[in-house]
Amino acid sequence: MSPSLAAILYLIAGILFILALRGLASPETSRQGNFFGILGMIIAIIVTFLSINILFSGLIYIFIALALGGSIGSITAYRIPMTAMPQLVAGFHSLVGLAAVMVAGAAFHNPSAYGIGDIGNIPVASLIEMSLGSTIGAITFSGSIIAFGKLQGIMSGNPITFKFQHFLNAILGIVLISVVILFCLNQTQNFFWSLTILAFIIGFLIIIPIGGADMPVVVSMLNSYSGWAACGIGFTLSNNLLIITGALVGSSGAILSYIMCKGMNRSFISVILGGFGGENVTLQANKETEQRPVKSGDSSDAAFMMQNAESVVIVPGYGMAVAQAQHALKEMCDILKKKGVNVRYAIHPVAGRMPGHMNVLLAEANVPYDEVLGLDEINRDFASTDIVFVIGANDITNPAAKTDPQSPIYGMPILEVENAKSVLFSKRSLRAGYAGVGNELFFGNNTMMLFGDAKEMCESIINALGK
C-alpha cells in the first residue's frame, strides 16, 4: 500500500475515532459511537498490515495472537456481569499499559526493526519517546492491578497509607526523572529497565492510598494514562494513527477525570499524583451511628406511598448493581407510570465504581434516556418531589457533604434527596458507604428505611402494587 493511501485511510480512521468519542458522550448515541470506533479500528488494523513488509510466516504468528487475544477479550466481556464491569475496565487498562512497556522494550533492543537507528545509536528524541511510553505504561499497569484488586474485593477498599508516603513518592519521582535523563545520555539496558521498574513501583504507590469511594476517578485517570502511554509508543513506531488515538484517549480521559473531580470535590492535581482518598474515618463513629433509632417499613408501605404519589424520583447506586436489581426496578417503575405516577431517575456523576456505571445499568434495563437526569438537572426538583426512592446509593446522598466540615466527603456535590417530602431508602443495613462515612439521611424525619436485598425489595413492591 502506498504511503499516501495509508495516510488517507489513517485519517479516515482518526475521524471515526473522534466520532466514536462524540457518540459515547450521550446514551442515545452510544451504540453508534461504538460502531464508529469498531469500524475505525478495523480500518487501522488492515492498513497497518498492508503497510508493513513482513513474511507470510510472521503474519501467521500475528493472526494467531490476534485470534487468541480477541477470543479471550470477547468471551470475558460477554460473560462478565455488569456489576464487575469496573474491574474489567481496570484489568483491560493494565493490559494497555503492559503492551506499551513491551513495545518500548522491543524498540530499545531492536531499534533497526523500527527504523530508529541501531543499538547504542538511537536518536535522543526516540529515547525520550520510548522512555515516556514505558514509564506511563508501567504506571498504568501496576496502578490498574491495584484498582482491580480493590474493586474485586481481593484487597481492602480502604486507603492504605503509611508514614512519609508522599515524601517517598516524591523521592521516587525525582529518581525516575534522573534515570530517564541518564538513559537518554547513555542508552544502556540497565537504565531502561531501571526506569521501567521504578515506574511499576510508583504505579502501586499512587493507587494504594486511594479509597474505594474514589474508584470512579481512578478508573477515569487510568484510562487517561493508558491513552498517553499509547501516544508515546506511537511516536516510537512513527505511527500517526496511534499518536492520534492515544492523544484522543488520553485527553478525553483527563477531561473526564476533571469532571469526576468536580463531582467529588477533589483536586485534579492530587488525583494525577495519587495524593487523595487517604482520610481516616473511625469505625467507632460508625458503630455509634448504627445504634441510633430509625423509621423502617416494608414493601407494602413503600408500594402504598409511591402509588399515591404524583411524582417519584429513583436514585440508583452501587447497591442496585450488586443486587442486579435494575430490571426489577424498571418493572416497578413501569407499573407506577401505568398508575399515573411521574417517574424519573437521578444519576450522580460518580455513582457506582466507574464513570457512567448507573447509566449503563439503566440502559441495560431499557430505561428511556429522557427519564434519566443528571445532578444539575434534578437537584432543583427534589423540593417538589413527593417520593424519592434511593436504591443502594449512599455517599452521593449524604447530607454530611454539606453540613460537616470534618467529613471526608465535605464539599462533594450530592443529590439533595433530603429536600423531598418523603425518602424511601432501600439498603441491607445502616453500614456506612464506601467512603466510610455514616449517612445522616438514614435518621431524617422524612426517611423510611427498607432493609433487605434491593432486587427482592423491588420484587416485593411489584407484588404489593399489583400488575
Look at the block and give the residue holding cell 503509611: 162
Closest by CA to 312, choosing from 294, 350, 339, is 339
Pull the grid cell for residue 339: 398508575
Could you tell me if 414 and 398 are in contact, meaning their C-beta atoms sit under 8 angstroms apart?
yes
Using CA atoms, how far apart are residues 146 and 379, in angstroms rounded to an integer? 34
pTM confidence score: 0.75
Domain boundaries, given as residue ranges, for the chain:
1-79, 87-280, 289-465
Using CA atoms, how far apart are residues 190 and 202, in angstroms rounded to an integer? 18
Using CA atoms, how far apart are residues 49 and 402, in angstroms rounded to an integer? 56
The C-alpha angle with vertex 120 and arms to 118 and 122, in degrees rounded to 5, equals 60
Using CA atoms, how far apart are residues 309 and 342, in angstroms rounded to an integer? 8
Kindly give the confidence (pLDDT) of every residue in the chain, 467 residues in length, as a single tens digit, with 9 standing for 90 and above: 777 888 888 889 989 988 988 887 777 787 888 899 999 989 988 888 887 776 666 778 888 888 898 888 888 878 877 667 778 888 888 888 898 899 999 989 988 877 888 888 888 888 988 898 899 999 999 988 988 888 777 877 667 777 887 788 889 989 999 999 999 998 899 999 999 999 999 988 888 887 666 677 778 888 888 888 888 888 888 888 888 888 888 888 888 888 777 766 666 676 666 554 444 444 434 444 456 788 888 999 999 999 999 999 999 988 888 888 899 999 999 999 999 999 999 998 777 777 778 888 888 888 888 888 888 889 999 999 999 999 988 888 988 888 888 777 777 888 999 999 999 999 888 887 766 678 888 988 899 999 989 999 999 999 998 86
Q: What three-state secondary structure class fits 294?
A: coil
In this structure, what are the phi and psi dihedrals at residue 120, rounded to the nearest 5 degrees?
A: 85, -5
The reply to whether 376 belongs to the active site is: no
Look at the block and give the residue holding cell 513491551: 102
Could you tell me if 209 and 165 are in contact, meaning their C-beta atoms sit under 8 angstroms apart?
yes
Point out the catalytic residue in the list 301, 395, 404, 453. 395
Cβ neighbors of 72 (< 8 A, separation 6 or more) are none
The CATH superfamily label for domain 289-465 reads TPP-binding domain (3.40.50.1220)
Using CA atoms, how far apart are residues 432 and 283, in angstroms rounded to an integer? 9
Could you tell me if 183 and 167 are in contact, meaning their C-beta atoms sit under 8 angstroms apart?
no
